[in-house]
């Protein structure tokens, strides 16, 4: 037998062996989730003031910030949970069609405030208090849970069990037996904070009992896993 023929036979044998090895595995995906009740939140709000002079704009923005701090003090929120360091000022120009020039209308002072709370019963009162203090904009709170890591693991466990059941179903349907795990890839999707509201300050202030209407939904943690199992006869 010639060398070239031997080479062809060896190549064919190698391809056949590889095909058999690939046929002895099954790849499945599984998904799972867990829900937890949020027990902490970060609320971000902003103050924007326009005044004829820079000093007046800064003074007014500082006055509103001071009101917010006094309000959080009354709510017994620690000062180290309140960040008021975000600040900026800028001139406010308007285009004059007659003179074809930019005219200085005044100055705008912006302040950004972030408040962390670990008692969600205070969330509604915090929002309403900020609005009454003169805050212009309140963004949806960033909800979180002290059980975040545990929730991740529970979601992964549920996804892994789902993958195992899927693999068993496939193996039994093909007349094979599920063998050991060869590889695992996983992924966890961080929960999207529920958004119970997103309104401008004036609209929220119009509701008399608005503080009682904020009801944060549960946080949902989703996980997926991809598992490769060996199949046995």
Q: How far apart are CA 143 and CA 46, in angstroms?
A: 18
Least confident segment among 12-21, 26-35, 83-92, 133-142: 12-21
φ, ψ (nearest 5 deg) of residue 195: -115, 90
Does 14 score more than 50 pLDDT?
Answer: no
DSSP 87-113: EEEEEEEEEETTTTEEEEEEEEEEEEE
- Looking at residue 211, its pLDDT comes to 55
Please indicate whether residue 119 or residue 204 has the higher confidence score (pLDDT). Answer: 119
Where along the chain do its domains lie? 23-39+146-233, 40-144
Q: How far apart are CA 115 and CA 126, in angstroms?
A: 9
CATH number of 23-39+146-233: 3.30.110.170
Does 207 score more than 60 pLDDT?
Answer: no
DSSP state, 192?
P
Q: How far apart are CA 88 and CA 106, in angstroms?
A: 14
CB within 8 Å of 51: residues ≥ 6 apart: 57, 59, 60, 106, 107, 109
Q: What is the pLDDT of residues 53-97, one digit of tens each?
A: 999 999 999 999 999 999 999 999 999 999 999 999 999 999 888
Q: How far apart are CA 220 and CA 218, in angstroms?
A: 6
CATH architecture of 40-144: 2-Layer Sandwich (3.30)
- Evaluate if pTM is beyond 0.75: no
């Amino acid at each position: 037998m010639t060398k070239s023929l031997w080479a062809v036979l060896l190549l064919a044998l190698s391809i056949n062996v590889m095909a058999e090895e690939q046929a002895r595995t099954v790849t499945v995906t599984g998904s799972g989730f867990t829900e937890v009740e949020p027990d902490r939140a970060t609320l971000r709000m902003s103050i924007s003031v326009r005044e004829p002079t820079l000093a007046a704009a800064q003074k007014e923005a500082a006055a509103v910030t001071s009101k917010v701090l006094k309000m959080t003090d009354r709510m017994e929120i620690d000062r180290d949970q309140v960040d008021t360091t975000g600040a900026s000022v800028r001139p406010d120009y308007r285009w004059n069609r007659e003179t074809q020039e930019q005219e200085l209308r005044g100055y705008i002072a912006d302040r950004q405030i972030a408040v962390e709370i670990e008692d969600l019963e205070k969330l509604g009162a915090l929002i309403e208090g900020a609005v009454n203090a003169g805050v212009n904009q309140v963004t949806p709170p960033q909800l979180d849970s002290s059980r975040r890591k545990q929730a991740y693991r529970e979601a992964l466990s549920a996804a892994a069990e789902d993958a195992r059941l899927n693999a068993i179903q496939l193996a039994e349907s093909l007349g094979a037996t599920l063998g050991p795990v060869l590889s695992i890839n996983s992924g966890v999707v961080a929960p999207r904070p529920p958004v119970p509201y997103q309104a401008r300050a004036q609209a929220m202030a119009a509701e008399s009992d608005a503080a009682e209407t904020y009801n944060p939904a549960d946080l949902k943690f989703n996980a997926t896993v991809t598992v490769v199992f060996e199949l046995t006869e």
